[in-house]
Structure 1
Amino acid sequence: MTTPRQGEVWWAEAEDKRRPVLVVTRTEAIPLGADEGLPVDCAASFDNVQPVERRLLTRRVGVLPPQRRHEICRALDALADC
């Protein structure tokens, strides 16, 4: 498996079901959809930021374009009430 990189969207096999995850660590609601490689529109929720074991990441499905990465920072700032 390749190393997940910041801005990539991966499928993670969680206990209850497969979920898309947005990698935000350096090499951490943003809308995601077909442009990022997902079959349906959804959102990256920062209400439940949590680590995901790399072994649970099964397949890279897309990448958040560089011009949208500022949305990660804005969402994390809102989460921390900065």
Structure 2
Amino acid sequence: MYTTIQKWGNSQAIRLPKALLEMARLRENDRLEIRVQDGNLVLVPVRKHRTLAERIAGYSGEHLCREWETGRPVGKEVL
């Protein structure tokens, strides 16, 4: 796909085709980080903080939590 850089106020802008946004799973008002790598512009989505419900939904059950020993108190820790 190709696009053209165009004037937008005092800046320059490009339009991203809907099909391209859908392939990248991006929507209107999503935040992007813009970087230059090896002379290329790279757009990286800034993903929002996931809620606890979203994290639990993505949990596969592979990791089992357990207690661990952290050693004896060395300062004024509350026991």
TM-score (norm 1): 0.25
Higher strand share: 1
Larger radius of gyration: 2
Which one has more relative contact order, counting CA pairs under 8 Å at least 6 apart?
Answer: 1
Higher helix proportion (structure 1 or 2): 1
